[in-house]
Structure 1
Amino acid sequence: MLNPIATIGDAQTLAQAIVNTIPEPFVVLDGQLRVLMASRSFYETFKVDPEQIRGSLLYALGDGQWDIPALRLLLETIIPERAAMDGFEVEHDFPNVGPRTMLLNARQVVYDDSSESTILLAFTDITTRRTIEREKEELLKQTEELLRQKQILFQEMQHRVANSLQIIASILLLKARAVTSEETRHHLQDAHQRVMSVAAVQQHLHATDGIDRIEVGSYLSKLCGSLASSMIGDSRPIAIKVVADEGEIESSEAVSVGLIVTELLINAIKYAFPIDKAGAQVVVTYGIEGADWKLTVADNGVGRRTDQAVPTTGGLGTAVVKALAEQLGARIDVVSGDAGMNISITRAPSAPNVALAN
């Protein structure tokens, strides 16, 4: 079979054809960094005339505008030492093209029967990619700054809410002390206690510093401890115990759970022990099973009585608990007897409608 490449001219023709098939700009340099040949893509990308650059020093192209320090470093220092280099990034305002970011791949070719060598140099334009990356980086910085500002505003809002609740609670307490009607005083004190319960929930959520998910055991323990200190103190022998599975809940859900616990705990402290009882206690239990959970507030007090204001009369406390349970998609079950009262809030896919008795 005859070899179709019979002469040097034929080999050069084939080599030029191969170079022209390369889609990225490509140039072949001799040992003195003069252009031997270049691809059609090179001419089109950099808008140069083939007749004007062939045999020219690479640095002299574009009236010396290709004399790029990074390119000199690659061709005169790195390639002689390593013979090859991939992904060498160069940013330059190329003549007739404008600012571009190029990745250069270079190979030095050394011949067995000659002291001469050539360098193959390929260009990949990554200007658009780098622009997108910089835009993403800038967008990320802006997003982080917005989140920082949001966090500052959130903390400021929490601070103002806490102050406002304290002011409202103080006013209610002052009014309760000033009125002569026992019934009015009772309602004002009840309103004061509920404002304080909201403040307690808000205070414990504020301690999480805006975290989206909250460890439920620690949250309920701190909340119940705070309520016990404010309502029981050392005057009454009632123990408050919290038993919770390890797990986290959304901060938005924690608000509703905290308010339910607060309301039920207030009711238990108020009504379960009309007289001091040895071993009196209220147990708050939170059990988790997958996406479902069950909250229970149980006391060992007198149980439901006919003269009890909450929950049998459907007072404000009952309405609050019902509304919050409905919001959570949970049901309410009440068991009461001589051993005390047990109120459970259960959220499960099969949970029926809220069933808290009036």
Structure 2
Amino acid sequence: MTLKAATISRLRGIAEAQTLAEAIVHTLHEPFLVLDAQLRVLAASRAFHETFQVEAAQTEGRLLYDLGDGQWNIPALRLLLETIIPEQAAMDGFEVDHEFPGLGRRIMMLNARKVIYETIADTTILLAFTDITDRRIVELEKDELLARTEDLLRQKRVLLQEMEHRVANSLQIIASILMLKARAVSSDESRQHLRDAHQRVMSVAAVQSHLHATEGIDLIAVAPYLEKLCASLVASMIGEDRPIAIRVIADDGKIGSAQAISIGLIVTELVINAIKYAFPQASPDSVIEVIYRSEGDDWALAVADNGVGLAAVGAGGGGLGTVIVQALVKQLGARLETRNDAAGMQVSITHAAA
């Protein structure tokens, strides 16, 4: 092939490539520009003309900054084309927030590429536009909604903390009144009933205290809850002349606050009964064990002592404590069993999920 023929073939190839490039540009759905090294428009997509309301005759061959009465003479865009692109050759996701004539305020995301040719000492810049105004509006609305939600949650936490403080104070006042009444009455039986009522209030207060410690989350770890409850019973009911140990053996199960109140009241009643009746004679080996085991929604609670034993809690009759235990076991949908022999007494409550 002669030099002339090779030149003609190469020029034809260039012309065909330009025709293909122009066809591609015009089929793009997004605004698109092809600029020369001096930032003059070589080609513009139909979408560019329609979006920015400019005629083709007013676009091709003109400096980008002169288009549409200077609407693209934007400092941020000049920074992109005159500083960033010469140094980096490409830029993605460059945002331009501008008031466009006829369009209003729009946010455009620009992607730019510098094309360097092997056969000619020139460069071309490809510039694609994506209108992300609606996307940014949605994101702004989401951010505002999130901020309002967080503010409402903050207000809720403040109100919840205030309510928790008031509940705690109310429970403490009730418990104090009961203890004052217990000291004031002359009847031993009335005094004991008031002390028992005091312990019932304190068991509810223990649940409230745990909820406050976990910022209102309606799940309570059973082991520390029972340990705190039993420590309170030891402090208020067991003196130095009656060395009774209370041991808590519990796994890492968690229960809801309503369920915890019921279980706490059951433990309170059973431990009070054991303290009052299981050890008529002081013994250094006196032990009450509170045992809790769980597996999924199934759980088992037991209160056992090594004392002399006492009448079965599950039997008919009994005092107020027996009635309370029976009612709470029924409320929990559980089953109550007792073992009463020479080795002591054990009351077991089991719950099996249906």
TM-score, with length taken from structure 1: 0.85
1:174 and 2:180 aligned? yes
- In 2, the alpha carbon distance for the partners of 1:261 and 1:304 equals 16
1:317 and 2:321 aligned? yes
Secondary structure, aligned partner of 1:92: strand
Quick one: which of 324, 329, 348 aligns to 2:352?
348
- In 2, the alpha carbon distance for the partners of 1:36 and 1:288 equals 76
Pairing of 1:278-357 with structure 2 (within 5 A): 278-305=284-311, 313-350=317-354
Taking structure 1 as reference, are residues 67 and 258 closer, same or farther at Cα in structure 2, changes over 3 Å only?
Answer: farther
- In 1, the alpha carbon distance for the partners of 2:329 and 2:113 equals 72
Secondary structure, aligned partner of 2:309: coil
CA contact (8 A) 2:297 2:353 kept: no
1:163 and 2:169 aligned? yes
Q: Name the stretch that deviates more: 77-86 or 245-254.
A: 245-254
Deviation at 1:19, TM superposition (A): 0.9
Taking structure 1 as reference, are residues 251 and 130 closer, same or farther at Cα in structure 2, changes over 3 Å only?
Answer: farther
Other-structure match for 1:67: 73
Other-structure match for 1:33: 39
**What is the identity, as a one-letter code, of the residue corresponding to 2:89?**
A
Secondary structure, aligned partner of 2:78: helix
1:122 and 2:131 aligned? no
Taking structure 1 as reference, are residues 343 and 45 closer, same or farther at Cα in structure 2, changes over 3 Å only?
Answer: farther
CA contact (8 A) 2:203 2:268 kept: yes
Other-structure match for 1:268: 274
TM-score, with length taken from structure 2: 0.85
Taking structure 1 as reference, are residues 301 and 71 closer, same or farther at Cα in structure 2, changes over 3 Å only?
Answer: same
CA contact (8 A) 2:111 2:127 kept: yes
Taking structure 1 as reference, are residues 318 and 95 closer, same or farther at Cα in structure 2, changes over 3 Å only?
Answer: farther
- In 2, the alpha carbon distance for the partners of 1:49 and 1:323 equals 85
CA contact (8 A) 1:285 1:296 kept: yes
Structure 2 stretches of 5 or more lacking a match? 1-8
Deviation at 1:202, TM superposition (A): 2.6
CA contact (8 A) 2:34 2:127 kept: yes
CA deviation profile, 1:249-273 (whole Å, cap 9, x unmatched): 3445433333332232222222322
1:199 and 2:201 aligned? no
CA deviation profile, 1:43-102 (whole Å, cap 9, x unmatched): 222222222222222222332232222211211112111222222233223332222232
Other-structure match for 2:6: none
Deviation at 1:175, TM superposition (A): 3.6
- In 1, the alpha carbon distance for the partners of 2:287 and 2:240 equals 14
Other-structure match for 1:47: 53
Taking structure 1 as reference, are residues 10 and 209 closer, same or farther at Cα in structure 2, changes over 3 Å only?
Answer: closer
CA contact (8 A) 1:25 1:40 kept: yes
1:254 and 2:260 aligned? yes
1:137 and 2:143 aligned? yes
Secondary structure, aligned partner of 1:336: strand
CA deviation profile, 1:207-245 (whole Å, cap 9, x unmatched): 333244433222222221122111114241110001112
- In 2, the alpha carbon distance for the partners of 1:231 and 1:315 equals 19
Deviation at 1:282, TM superposition (A): 0.6
- Provide the aligned length of Structure 1 versus Structure 2: 345
Deviation at 1:152, TM superposition (A): 1.9
Instruction: Tell me the percent identity.
Output: 65
RMSD: 2.8
- In 1, the alpha carbon distance for the partners of 2:156 and 2:67 equals 53
**What is the identity, as a one-letter code, of the residue corresponding to 1:242?**
V
CA contact (8 A) 1:107 1:119 kept: yes
CA deviation profile, 1:284-326 (whole Å, cap 9, x unmatched): 11112234221211111222238x9x97525433343344434
Quick one: which of 224, 231, 237 aligns to 2:237?
231
1:107 and 2:102 aligned? no
Q: Name the stretch that deviates more: 317-326 or 287-296.
A: 317-326
Other-structure match for 2:4: none
Other-structure match for 2:64: 58
